[in-house]
Amino acid sequence: MTLMQKFLSASAALALTAGAAVAEPALIFDLGGKFDKSFNESAFNGATRWAEETGGSFAEVELQSDAQREQALRRFAEAGNNPIVMAGFSFANALTEVAADYPDTKFQIIDMVVDAPNVRSIVFAEEQGSYLVGMAAALASETGTVGFIGGMDIPLIRNFACGYAQGVLAVNPDATVISNMTGTTPSAWNDPVKGSELTIAQISQGADVVYAAAGGTGVGVLQTAADEGILSIGVDSNQNYLHPGQVLTSMLKRVDNAVYDAMKAGEDLEPGFNVMDLSNEGVGYAVDENNAELINDDMTAKLEEAKAMIVAGDIAVHNYNSDETCPALDF
């Protein structure tokens, strides 16, 4: 009997300390990997910023395959991590299953909407940011032909392409937009060799500015664009520094802010649906010392004007996700 009591009290104490110790947030990266210099890296930067400012720590995992999504979610939820932030649209199915099983845990999904009482969904108005870099591309292009290289062929990436094409055509209605997707499987986020090949193919069709929205594949796109002496546009993170003077700009998607805010809110994370767009600085274009020479005053003026008009609602950028069609580009 006493032995039993000892066991019980010991396990109770263990459980209590365990519960108290690990109420830290967790971050799950998508298949592109933590250091893709793009989307996932942006999420990681947000989490790091939170950790540095608060002195807290966060749990993290990089997935190796699609099958691990639900497993990773459940593991963090069981371990008491709260909130659990996942970077990537692919988590939607797994999260729908898991969120119902852990009603006291808060989840945040980026780039996708999951309707559950304990899930905060964050989507970005990629079409708005892409519209602006599309304008920049058309202004910088001498041939009147610009390119787009997407990662996996999904509506999210088509939305990038669609916004970009709208921006290009807004500046130069006669411009040609060449659009290529790297593939149809998640490995398309990580194939720089193919990214290079697609870039060369686009250059030979006349493109002199190429926009890559392709995760790790984009590294190959930017490299080839620099080798061949044309301009490229980065995505998600600020990628201007990768090839100074040869990356026109980067379409910023402030995934870092989304992650930072979620971790800062902690267990009080507010569920619901959230759009990050130009009006709340959720998307934008990057200007720093690496591309200051490429973005001239005339360009800045036009971009800022368009930005103000989009925020005010005077320019409506079509969202591909709303009806799966694009007025400016044929997929």
Partner 1 sequence: MDFLTFVQLADATVRMSIPLLLACLAGLFSERAGIFDIGLEGKMLAAAFFAAAVSFSTGSVWIGLLAGLAASLALSVIHGLASITLRGNQLISGVAINFLAAGLTVVVAQSWFKQGGRTPQLSGASRFDGLDWPGALTRVREIMTAPPPQQFYSEFISGHSILVYFAFLCVPASWWLLYRTRFGLRLRAVGENPAAVDTAGISVVGLRFTAVLICGLLCGIAGAYLSTAAQAGFTKDMTANRGFIALAALIFAKWRPWHAMGACLLFGLFFAIDNRFQNIQLHAIWIIVILVGLSALMTSYALRRDRIDVIVLGGFSALLTLIAIGMWIGLTVPGEVSMVQALWQVVKLPTQLIQSMPYILTVVALAGFVGKAIPPRAGGEPYVKER
* Nearer Cβ to partner 1 (161/233): 161
With vertex at residue 22, the alpha carbon angle to CA 21 and CA 28, rounded to the nearest 5 degrees, is 165
List the one residue from 193, 275, 292, 308 that touches partner 1 (CB under 8 A): 193
33 lines the binding site for partner 1 (CB under 8 A): yes
35 lines the binding site for partner 1 (CB under 8 A)? yes
Interface positions, 143-182, toward partner 1 (CB under 8 A): 179-181
CA dist., res. 180 & res. 203, Å (int): 12
Binders in 216-235 for partner 1, by CB under 8 A: 216, 219-220, 223, 228-230
CA pair distance 201, 124, nearest whole angstrom: 30
The correct pick among 47, 136, 203, 221 for binding partner 1 (CB under 8 A) is: 203
Return the range that interacts with partner 1 (CB under 8 A); candidates 85-93, 202-210, 231-239, 308-316. Answer: 202-210
Phi-psi domain of 245 (left: phi exceeds 0; alpha: psi -120 through 50; beta: other):
left
Euclidean distance between CA atoms 113 and 321, whole angstroms: 12
Count CB atoms within 10 A of the CB of residue 193: 10
Judged by CB under 8 A, which of 60, 208, 256, 261 binds partner 1?
208
From candidates 87, 139, 198, 299, binder to partner 1 by CB under 8 A: 198
Would you count residue 190 as binding partner 1 (CB under 8 A)?
yes
Given phi > 0 = left and psi -120 to 50 = alpha, else beta, which region is 249? Answer: beta
Sign of CA dihedral 202, 204, 205, 206: positive
> Using CB under 8 A as the criterion, which residues of the chain lie in contact with partner 1 when the complex forms?
33-36, 62, 179-181, 184, 187, 190-194, 196-198, 200-201, 203-204, 206, 208, 216, 219-220, 223, 228-230, 242
